[in-house]
Amino acid sequence: MLQTRLASIVAVMRVFKVTVPSTPTIDRIVATRDAHEAFAKAAPDRQEGAPATRPLGR
């Protein structure tokens, strides 16, 4: 459940290029999630009609 909630927050942060330093636990959770094939395929930037932004998935 936490990964799902973090996913939406991190997706918005990436779109607006917001960074939060010194968050190793969150960074580790997000990296693990990004490495998972299902999450990478479902990344918002990979969806049809998505605006061109920095890559969220692999």
Q: In sequence order, what E strands does the chain have? A: none
Q: Which residues contact 26 (CB under 8 A, 6 or more apart)?
A: 6, 10, 20
pLDDT score of 22: 93
Residue 52 has pLDDT above 50, yes or no: yes
Mean pLDDT of all residues in 8-35: 88
Mean pLDDT of all residues in 21-48: 86
Query: CA 47, 10, 50 angle in degrees (round to 5)?
Result: 20
Residue 58 has pLDDT above 60, yes or no: no
Average pLDDT of the residues of the chain: 81
Residue 6 has pLDDT above 60, yes or no: yes
